[in-house]
Structure 1
């Protein structure tokens, strides 16, 4: 089995090649190493190989990992990429660089409330269900603009862009990535400050190539770095 360091190097090379091919700068695409279900020692191994940003999906696991002695004092940037329930927001407020999984107005409102209580400024993405699958979370594309209009007014939080989990079918995934990019452009037209809307979090181990070609600024890679869960 290849090492985490060699896996990271390979993916970084792919990001560079794909970005240039798409007429983009490699630095425009951020790699989030999805470390959910993986122990702190593997996060440390990835950090030692130059990886700074990590994605977690389960609140309790994230909190335990964040406090692990192996990771203390390291300049890690944590992203919460899983579905986030309102009652869990207080546990992660102020502890993550970016929240990816806000999928409704009520959750955004709770994120705002907790941020106000703790005098925080919290950045987040809206998750959009581009595939239409009932098993997936996310705001429907049809109501995104109207919901975002209300979310823009909430204090102490800043919407930075959109996130999606695409269909397993690669052809469908590409169409969904393109749709998310178009939705972000539409959102910018209604935003109080469109310059804040810079992020498209889309693409995972099996489909990040097409995501980069369709404009992803954040890709979330787990299996291709850490192996199967």
Structure 2
């Protein structure tokens, strides 16, 4: 085991312990929570090390980084379950779709239609299985954040309901950056209530700074980068 593998493994162990504690506080089972390790700016070596430490679900937020990294990883015989967690422009769908197992940033019917079109053309890894998608919701109402407004979610869900290759499994949000994670608890709670109002169980919410609060409020996926992989590399 290399030093960096040990570091990632040790960090993952600490994260899992904190997740277990958060689940216990909320009366939840740890099996309900999936960690998505965000490898943004980290090389394929980090992907290999994460897999060696048992972390299969990995995320990227830029198409121009995901595609070459996924291809390099595949060339090394590595098979992570890739999640795309960043804003996705329609002209990047063709580049991203062949690699991902989950999309966390569906924010419009037009984007869903582009995914549907590309999947019909055989761009999807498995054309017989719809792509699990989380609708990104700008719960905090921040002008700098992407995502649909809460009031638009119902219309978006109706717009994608008949698509063969897009399956909405939940909602996603990026909480505002604050000094105290307790300040964003209402954001996570609102997303949970919105998801349940639409009959959705999946909740992609919580990052390094606030994932424990997110889990207490029902997160089923947490997107963690720095707490697992250390500082971003330039």
Structure 1 residue 147 corresponds to structure 2 residue 156: yes
> Counterpart of 1:226?
229
Which residue among 152, 159, 176 is the counterpart of 2:187? 176
Q: SS where residue 107 of structure 1 aligns?
A: helix
CA RMSD of aligned residues (A): 1.7
> Counterpart of 1:86?
90
What is the distance in 2 between the residues matched to 1:46 and 1:71? 17
What pairs up with 1:193-208 in 2 under 5 angstroms? 197-208=200-211
1:140, distance to aligned residue in structure 2 (A): 0.3
What is the distance in 2 between the residues matched to 1:71 and 1:201? 29
Q: SS where residue 87 of structure 2 aligns?
A: coil
Structure 1 residue 98 corresponds to structure 2 residue 102: yes
How many matched pairs?
221
> Counterpart of 1:3?
7
Task: Tell me whether 110-119 or 127-136 shows the greater mean CA deviation.
Answer: 110-119
1:227, distance to aligned residue in structure 2 (A): 1.3
What is the distance in 2 between the residues matched to 1:228 and 1:107? 32
Q: SS where residue 134 of structure 1 aligns?
A: coil
What whole-Å deviation, never above 9, does each CA across 1:180-223 have from its counterpart, x for those lacking one?
001111111xxxxxxxx331000000000100000000000001
Structure 1 residue 129 corresponds to structure 2 residue 133: no
What is the distance in 1 between the residues matched to 2:189 and 2:157? 19
What whole-Å deviation, never above 9, does each CA across 1:127-151 have from its counterpart, x for those lacking one?
0001100100000001211221112
1:70, distance to aligned residue in structure 2 (A): 7.8
Unaligned runs of 5+ in 1: 189-196
Judged with a 3 Å threshold, the aligned counterparts in structure 2 of structure 1 residues 132 and 224 are, in CA distance, closer, same or farther, namely same
Verify the 8 A CA contact 2:101 2:132 in the aligned structure 1. yes
Which residue among 156, 165, 168 is the counterpart of 2:174? 165
What is the distance in 2 between the residues matched to 1:48 and 1:31? 15
Which residue among 113, 117, 128 is the counterpart of 2:117? 113
> Counterpart of 1:216?
219
What pairs up with 1:27-66 in 2 under 5 angstroms? 27-66=31-70
Runs of 4+ that moved beyond 6 A: none
> Structure 1 length normalisation: TM-score?
0.91
What is the distance in 2 between the residues matched to 1:12 and 1:69? 25
Q: SS where residue 208 of structure 2 aligns?
A: coil
Q: SS where residue 42 of structure 1 aligns?
A: helix
Judged with a 3 Å threshold, the aligned counterparts in structure 2 of structure 1 residues 154 and 222 are, in CA distance, closer, same or farther, namely same
Verify the 8 A CA contact 1:115 1:122 in the aligned structure 2. no
